[in-house]
Structure 1
Amino acid sequence: MKFSIITLGCKVNAYESQYYAGQLEELGYEQVSPDQACDICIINTCTVTNTAASKSRQKIHYAKRMNPNALCVVVGCFVQFASEDERKALDADLVIGAKQKNELVNLIQKALKDHEKIDVVNEVTQFKDFEAMPVHCFESMHRAFLKVQDGCNQFCSYCAIPFARGRERSLNHEQVIQIAKDLCDKGHTEIVLTGIHTGRYDDGEYDLAKLMKALLENTPDSVYYRISSIEITEVSDALIALMKENPRMCHHLHIPVQSACNETLRRMNRPYTIEEFKEKIKYIRSCI
């Protein structure tokens, strides 16, 4: 059987799509591009803004038009945020929200076997635990991604993610270290830590800086680390010191500013002023 995956949105979605592909390929399924004939179409959606939601709808319709007889699987933030009527209107065979994504392959097999539509969308208030979705090998043998965090508590006024992915939760640090070791064993030489709110990593014992220190201590000296998008308020002194002291921490930070207008930042519910942002950037550059 052949499958295709259309991925919208952030690096976390791209990571999760890689996980779905790996799980299906382990069972003997073959991945093809979205414009080819296939038996299963997976659309990994986004809803961070109205534009993202509109693109998700367009890609769902495109997939159904390209392969009208294929099993249509819609997963992710867009369907989590959509109403029950909106989900029914998509006429998808399998709908999975922000929970039970790690059961996607089992649910696909069930849908193929039973020939019945399945809707698995739970209330975000039920999202208590981090669902591990480890990817142990990436096509690029140089760079690998490791999802360590999910969810968001920020509630920026323009963003639907807290309602689509639920509250913050993190992968246990011991599991993070083990997955990193597996990636090293596969030959990857750079690991990028990623999440919806990566800087808020907290498993109850380790924060992001402590996690990074443990990763550096438990993996070979030939492996480097990078952090995906992080908020300015979460670039801690401990993290900066680690980047300064350890050459295996890439001197790279992707920090969103959103606006250079304090009134706009206030309306956005962003937790900083432009002056605070600039001062922190100046401090980081003075250290690194």
Structure 2
Amino acid sequence: MRFSITTLGCKVNSYESNYYKEQLEKHGHQLVESTDPCDVCIINTCTVTNTAAAKSRQKIHSLKKSHPNALIVVVGCYVQHANQTERENLDVDLIIGANHKNELVQRIEELLKEHVRKDLVEDIRNFTSFEEMPIHVYESKHRAFLKIEDGCNQFCSYCAIPYARGRQRSLSKEKVIEIAQSLSDKGHYEIVLTGIHTGRYQDGDTTLAKLLKELLEKTNERVQYRISSIEITEVDDELIELMKQTTRICHHLHIPIQSGCNETLQRMNR
């Protein structure tokens, strides 16, 4: 089976698309460009804003038109946030929202056999546990990404992410360390910790700073860590002190700032 993956939106979507690629190739399927003939077109969608949702719809319709004989699989934030009528109007073969993503290969293989259209979108309030999607090796031998968190509790006035990905949930500390060790063993010496709200990582009493401390202790001393993005309110003294003590945590923080105006920030619920 030949498949293509089209990814819209954030770095977490890119991470998840890499996971789909790795899993499909493990099952003997072949990745091709979205412009090439293929049996399955996968569209990993975004809905953080109305513009992002519109781009997702446009891409779905475009790929349906250019690949009339392919099965169309739509996954991710846009279809999770869309209502049932909107999803039905897409007229696609398989829809997976914010849950069951780690079943994508199984669901596609079922679709190839049964040719029965399915919509697997569930109520976002049901998602309370972190869905593991580990990537074991990257084509870039140096840098790897490790998704440690998903969801958001912020409910900014302009953003649909809490409704599309659900509330905050984190990968267990033990699993993070296990995956980091595996990536290190395969020669990846820069690991980027990523998530929708990475700075809100929490596993019991383990915060992001405490997780980083354990990662430094339990992985090869050649491995460096980078934080993909973090809110300014989550950069605490413990994290700053840890970064000062070691060069193994990259001395760089990507901090989003929507406005310098307090009144505007209040309207944004920032």
Instruction: Show the 5 A alignment for 1:42-61.
Output: 42-61=42-61
Task: State the partner residue of 2:69.
Answer: 69
Task: State the partner residue of 1:116.
Answer: 116
Contact conserved, 1:37 with 1:66, CA < 8 A, in 2?
no
Q: Deviations over 1:27-69 (max 9, x none)?
A: 1101011111111100000000001001101111121122111
How far is the alpha carbon of 1:110 from its aligned partner? 1.0
Moved over 4 A (4+): none
Q: How many residue pairs get matched?
A: 270
Q: Deviations over 1:121-159 (max 9, x none)?
A: 010110010000000111111110000000000000000
Task: State the partner residue of 1:160.
Answer: 160
Q: Distance in 2 between matches of 1:104 and 1:159?
A: 26
Task: State the partner residue of 1:36.
Answer: 36
Q: Deviations over 1:163-215 (max 9, x none)?
A: 00000000000000000011001110100000000000001131100000011
Identity of aligned residues (%): 67
Instruction: Tell me the TM-score normalized by structure 1.
Output: 0.93
Instruction: Show the 5 A alignment for 1:175-254.
Output: 175-254=175-254
Task: State the partner residue of 2:134.
Answer: 134
Task: State the partner residue of 2:87.
Answer: 87
Contact conserved, 1:19 with 1:133, CA < 8 A, in 2?
yes
1:12 aligns with 2:12: yes
Question: SS of the counterpart of 1:263?
Answer: helix
Q: Distance in 2 between matches of 1:121 and 1:259?
A: 34
Contact conserved, 1:3 with 1:41, CA < 8 A, in 2?
yes
Q: Distance in 1 between matches of 2:99 and 2:144?
A: 24
Q: Distance in 2 between matches of 1:68 and 1:40?
A: 11
Q: Distance in 1 between matches of 2:62 and 2:244?
A: 47
Amino acid at match of 1:55: K
Question: SS of the counterpart of 1:95?
Answer: strand
Amino acid at match of 2:65: R
Q: Distance in 2 between matches of 1:148 and 1:236?
A: 19
How far is the alpha carbon of 1:260 from its aligned partner? 1.2
Question: SS of the counterpart of 2:78?
Answer: helix
Task: State the partner residue of 1:273.
Answer: none
Instruction: Tell me the TM-score normalized by structure 2.
Output: 0.99
Task: State the partner residue of 2:150.
Answer: 150
Contact conserved, 1:155 with 1:162, CA < 8 A, in 2?
yes
Q: Distance in 2 between matches of 1:113 and 1:2?
A: 15
Amino acid at match of 1:60: I
Amino acid at match of 1:197: H
How far is the alpha carbon of 1:91 from its aligned partner? 0.7
Q: Distance in 1 between matches of 2:121 and 2:190?
A: 35
How far is the alpha carbon of 1:112 from its aligned partner? 1.1
Q: Distance in 1 between matches of 2:227 and 2:209?
A: 11
Question: SS of the counterpart of 1:139?
Answer: coil
Ranges in structure 2 where 5+ consecutive residues have no aligned partner: none
Q: Distance in 2 between matches of 1:66 and 1:186?
A: 38
Amino acid at match of 1:75: V
Task: State the partner residue of 2:101.
Answer: 101
Q: Deviations over 1:250-288 (max 9, x none)?
A: 011000010111111000000xxxxxxxxxxxxxxxxxx
Contact conserved, 1:3 with 1:30, CA < 8 A, in 2?
yes
